[in-house]
Chains A and B, each alone.
Chain A
Amino acid sequence: MLSALDRKLLRDLRGMLGQAVMIALVVSAGVATWIESRTLLASLETTRDQFYERNNFADVFAKAKRAPNALSERVAELPGVARVETRIVEGVNLDVPGLDEPAVGTLISLPENREPVLNRVYLRRGRRLAPGRDDEVLASEKFVDANHLRVGDSVTAILNGRKKTLRIVGVVLSPEYVFMVKPGDLVPDPKRFGVFWMQEEALEMAFDMDGAFNDLAVGLAREADLEETLFRIDQLLEPYGGIGAYGRKDQLSHLLLTNDIDGLKVHGTVAPTIFLSVAAFLLNVVLSRVLALQREQIAALKAFGYSNVQIGWHYLKLVLLIILLGSAIGIPGGAFLARVFTQMIALVYQYPDLIIVLKPSVVATGVAAAGGAATLGAIGSIWQAVRVAPAEAMRPEPPASFKPSFFERIGMGAWVPNVARMIIRQLERRPARSVISVFAIALSVAIIIVGQFLQDAVDFTMEQQFFRVQRFDMMVATIEPDTPDILYELQHAPGVLRAEPLRTVSARLHNGQHERRVSLVGLPEGGQLFRLVDSSGAVYPPPTGGLMLSAKLARLLHVEAGGVVRVETLEGQRPDEDVPVISLIDDLQGLNAYTTLDGLNRFMGEGPRINAAYLQTDSELKLQTFRDLKDTPKVASVTVKRNALESFHDTVAKNLGTMKKINLFFACIIAVGVVYNSARIALSERSRELATLRVVGFTRGEISTILLGELGLLTLVALPFGWVMGYGFAWGLTAMVDQEVFRFPLVVERSTYGIATSVVLAASAASGLLVRRSLDHLDLIAVLKSRD
């Protein structure tokens, strides 16, 4: 049996249903974002760790030119090294059935007759390699799917200048390629980049690597010292063309997974905090109003002997019911969002499966946090109402006192019409409430701005990278540094309009204890196809007599323009010298170190050498160009800019679109929640006044103006704050996303402010209309009969 008091509770709740639902929605957004991010975080971390664990993901990676297999034993003897695997890894050009454009692949050797001790592959479909079959490969799943290939299909690869048909017998996933991008790219292009595993012997034969390896993976013991191990491995590999060992943190796939997980950690606390704070605020104002209306009831209850605690608990139950309702929506909502995000992640990650485990503890903490925030918001107003002595509460509240508003005090009163006066004085009477309302509405503006800003930033980045920096159509890389004759050859390939050379050299830059691995890039003077453009659009020539560094790289190395870095090259004669830092460039992607092509070659102590070229081509002759490049033995890979652009669109843009929608939805919940509740409270507080005005001859439209004018004013005042806040959030985001791979330019387009403004205005208008409907049903006579 429900007690009489509980029945009153339910009726009270029904009386404020609209408001309760709106608050519950804000609560549900808090609970949902909490559950979503925690669940996703937990499942990403466990999935990753399990996958790494089961497939023995290595801790250290190193490349060399050609090292004898016997060296692996010396590596194994190093302190802290638990397991060693040597491999042959080669980049090749591919001929994929049904694909005109050039594709590239990475071939990785698998030991015959045994499982590799590190970096095992997970067999998704098909079978493992048969012993002795040199034409069988296991292929990465994304590549197979993107090209609509099946087990049993073949691709052709150019192995060391010879065509070889490779039959796909199995489809696999690898811990090294959870995030699979071609070296040098930033987003996956699974159609044109694949990873393949084949028998070691076959690769030994094809690449003349009998008894040798060029890729090393090391598993460390628990107590190992990473830096020390890297140093020792480098020492061992140096005579064999080692280009520097690196740990997991520099392994591209791992690096990107970690970036995402870190991002999720931030988002996972910020979003729920925002929603629950807004919910707490709304509960506070709504409850204050309900309690003011029930002042006399409370007095009566107290007169009959209910204690303060009993009455307080009674109202707290009302709050908890709302939290319950919010949680009931938020828990499945969070699970749903977690699934949506998983699908987004599945677009770019390759895991056997991403298991979503909705942990009871996550749900419990989410609901508890919501309950806590709500109680915090409500307790003040409950206490204030309950505390009043019964005799005092029995008397009606004295008429609200007002004073002339700020505008009038500064002498602008004469210009303010009476209706505006009412609005302004109302708002000034409860400054804290007005300020927080403005803040909350501004918050929803800001949330939309950040969401749209992501789009602006990505658009700008695309424009910058793909059109202002990269003005070529294709980029070809040669197998080895070559004489500039190759450029002549490329220039005369069909469809090629212009070719510009470049050279890249792997190097470590040192400044004291700070150190970073980068590719030194030597660019021709007067080059047109790849330009050094900073985020303000200024174009710089490649620096002579030193380096131009990405500003981010300079920060990591703690050097400034005018300083010096030690350049330890990892190729050729391995020159290792101090080089002046001429200038810094505020660029958006990667850690770059540029110099002139001639300067780089001089530094390397070699004659003119290039290992890549930018091509401007005639798109009409595209196919001929491709065919010709495929048949040029020295060309190791061809990258088509348009393809890179498309894959950028397919992944980043698609995920961004989903995120934007979710973001917009949440921002609307906040905007509607705040404005609608403000409107209801204003209506409740003002209904007597408004009905009186109707009685004395004001029209519905006129009294709507008074009520909605207040909301309109709050919204209008909130807009500029929202813009500033949104810009601030965007700035914060760029600071947070100041990553080595990706940086966000701080560009917020006008249209972004426009969208945020119109969405919030629309949400306000919608809430206003909801409330306006009740204005039409004001009981004119009832207000004349009662005192208040």
Chain B
Amino acid sequence: MPSPTTAATTGAEGVKDAVFAARSVVKTYQMGEVAVHALNGVDLDLWPGEFVVLLGPSGSGKSTLLNILGGLDAPTSGDVFYRGEKLTAFNDSALTRYRRDHVGFVFQFYNLIPSLTARENVALITEIAPNPLDPVEALALVDLDKRKNHFPSQMSGGEQQRVAIARAVAKRPDVLLCDEPTGALDVHTGVLVLDAIQRVNAELGATTAVITHNAVIAKMADRVIHISDGRIAGEERNTKKVAASELEW
């Protein structure tokens, strides 16, 4: 693992080594007369295998940033590199390819397919991925192999979210992007979900970025990046990572 500097970014040469490198990323939404500046010039590098928490208040631009990194959205200006490749130059089908092959997403509202069982939801992804885990194996990673034949409507929110994590990791993604994965969950289930994410990060070595506005969760991270008003307001390294099960809030 290259040693990260104290700054959130390195020089241009860092672009090749970083998993993600964002340079002067600006995202502006035109809402009629008013322009909403969701991102105001963000520079950021994420390193292989890292567990990063993006922390910031609601509306600060976290989701916008994550969506751009995940290839769901394009910045208004600035560039984003993925392993040295300029993501911002990709067309729609290249972005689809990129998401399919490299990115695992976990969303606040799970977004499972209600007509498919847990195993089938995972299989949906493994069927199109080049080097996937077995769906049941992926479910085992989040402790849900026993519920593989249940439909989403038969599972609790926390279980659904863990299925979503299994679905995200089953393709062995290079990066795992989680947008408020515990936002809709109570503390106890939230911990189970975070524990699953942490385990996946450790066992598969995927670079993991978790968005939250909950400062407690930041204790799990290798690195915490503070975002406010569409900028990076600062970052810190945790000298001691706390296990999800030990979090308290």
- Whether A401 is near chain B, meaning CB under 8 Å from some CB there, is yes
Partner of B72, one of A399, A695, A788: A695
A residues less than 8 Å from B70 (CB atoms): 695
**Cβ B123 vs Cβ A402 within 8 A:** no
B109 to chain A, nearest CB (A): 5
- Whether the pair A696, B167 counts as a contact (CB closer than 8 A) is yes
Q: Roughly how many angstroms separate A442 CA and B167 CA in the complex, as a whole number? A: 39
Given contacts A398-B153, A400-B153, A695-B105, contact A783 B111 (CB under 8 A): yes
Q: Which B residues, 59 to 77, have Cβ-Cβ distances below 8 Å to chain A? A: 63, 67, 70, 72-73
Q: Are B116 and A421 in contact (CB under 8 A)?
A: yes
Name the interface residues of B114-129: CB closer than 8 Å to any CB of A: 114-116, 120, 123-125, 127-129
CB-based contact B125/A402 at 8 Å: no
* CB neighbours of A421 from chain B (8 A): 115-116, 120
A697: interface (CB < 8 Å): yes
- B106 to chain A minimum Cβ distance, whole angstroms, is 10
In contact, B128 and A697 (Cβ under 8 angstroms)? yes
Give the docked Cα–Cα distance between A785 and B72 (Å).
13
Q: Smallest CB–CB gap between B117 and chain A, Å?
A: 8
Question: With an 8 A cutoff between CB atoms, is B103 at the interface?
Answer: yes
Query: With A and B bound together, what is the CA distance between A692 and B115 in angstroms?
Result: 14
Is the Cβ of B123 less than 8 Å from the Cβ of A784? no
**A162 beta carbon closer than 8 Å to chain B:** no
Q: Is the CB of A418 within 8 A of B96?
A: no
Residue B107 is within 8 A (CB to CB) of chain A in the complex: yes
A422-B108 contact given A694-B96, A697-B125, A784-B179, CB 8 Å threshold:
no
Alpha-carbon separation in the docked complex, A586 to B45 (Å): 89
Asked whether B101 is an interface residue with its Cβ less than 8 Å from the other chain, the reply is yes
B113 pairs with A422, CB closer than 8 A:
yes
A693 to chain B, nearest CB (A): 8
Chain A residues whose C-beta falls within 8 Å of the C-beta of B107 in the assembled complex: 692, 784
Q: Which residues of A contact B151 (CB under 8 A)?
A: 401-403
Give the docked Cα–Cα distance between A419 and B99 (Å).
19
Chain B residues lying within 8 Å of A700, measured Cβ to Cβ, are: 92, 96
Cβ proximity bits A759-787 to B, threshold 8 Å, 1 near / 0 not:
00000000000000000000011011111
| B100 beta carbon closer than 8 Å to chain A | yes
User: In the complex, which residues of chain A have a beta carbon less than 8 angstroms from the beta carbon of B153?
Assistant: 398-402
Smallest CB-CB separation from B109: which chain A residue? A787
- Cα-based distance from A688 to B113 in the complex (angstroms): 9
Q: Decide yes or no whether A699 CB sits under 8 A from chain B.
A: yes
CB distance from B213 to the nearest CB of A (A): 15
Contact A696 B179 (CB under 8 A): no
Q: Mark B172-183, 1 if CB is under 8 A from A, else 0.
A: 000000010000
Least CB distance from B160 to A in Å reads: 8
B94 to chain A, nearest CB (A): 11
Give the contacting residue for B124; candidates A418, A425, A781; CB below 8 A: A418
Q: Are the C-beta atoms of A689 and B113 separated by less than 8 Å?
A: yes
Q: Is the CB of A402 within 8 A of B114?
A: yes
Residue on B nearest A776 in the bound complex, by CB: B92
What 1/0 flags go to A654-698 for Cβ under 8 Å of B? Answer: 000000000000000000000000000000000011001111111
CB distance from A603 to the nearest CB of B (A): 78
B149-187 CB contact bits vs A (8 Å, 1 = yes)?
A: 001111000000000000110000000000100001000
Which of chain A's residues have a CB closer than 8 A to the CB of B104?
Answer: 696
User: In the docked arrangement, what's the CA distance between A417 and B92, Å?
Assistant: 26
Scan residues 138-153 of chain A and give those whose CB is less than 8 A from a CB of chain B. Answer: none
Rounded to whole angstroms, the CA-CA distance of A417 and B116 in the bound complex is 11
**Set of chain B residues within 8 Å of A83, measured between Cβ atoms:** none
Closest beta carbon of chain A to B102's beta carbon, Å: 9
| CB–CB A697/B99 < 8 A | yes
Does B108 contact A692, Cβ atoms closer than 8 Å? no
**Interface check B93, CB cutoff 8 A:** yes
Nearest-CB distance from B103 to chain A (Å)?
Answer: 7
A314 touches B (CB below 8 Å): no
Select A696's contact among B99, B120, B184, beta carbons within 8 Å.
Answer: B99
Beyond A399-B152, A784-B107, A786-B109, whether A698 also contacts B100 by CB under 8 A is yes
Cβ B116 vs Cβ A418 within 8 A:
yes
Any chain B CB within 8 A of the CB of A429? yes
Determine the residue in chain B with the shortest Cβ distance to A426: B115
B127 close to A418 (CB less than 8 A)? yes
B135 to chain A, nearest CB (A): 10
Contact with B along A685-729 (1 / 0, CB 8 A): 000110011111111101000000000000000000000000000
> What's the minimum C-beta distance from B1 to chain A, rounded to whole angstroms?
27
CB distance from B124 to the nearest CB of A (A): 5
A491 to B127, CA, bound (A): 84
A169 to B127, CA, bound (A): 88
20 additional contacts, CB 8 Å, given A400-B153, A692-B113? A399-B153, A400-B115, A401-B114, A402-B114, A402-B115, A429-B115, A689-B113, A692-B111, A695-B72, A695-B111, A696-B99, A696-B105, A696-B167, A698-B100, A781-B67, A781-B72, A781-B73, A784-B67, A784-B108, A784-B179
Which residues of B line the A interface, CB within 8 A?
63, 67, 70, 72-73, 92-93, 96-97, 99-101, 103-105, 107-109, 111, 113-116, 120, 123-125, 127-129, 151-154, 167-168, 179, 184
Provide a sorted-by-A list of 30 A–B residue pairs whose CB atoms are within 8 angstroms: A398-B153, A399-B152, A400-B114, A401-B153, A401-B154, A402-B115, A403-B151, A421-B115, A421-B116, A422-B113, A425-B115, A692-B111, A693-B113, A694-B96, A695-B72, A696-B99, A696-B100, A696-B103, A696-B104, A696-B105, A697-B103, A698-B100, A699-B93, A699-B96, A702-B128, A781-B63, A784-B107, A784-B111, A785-B63, A787-B184
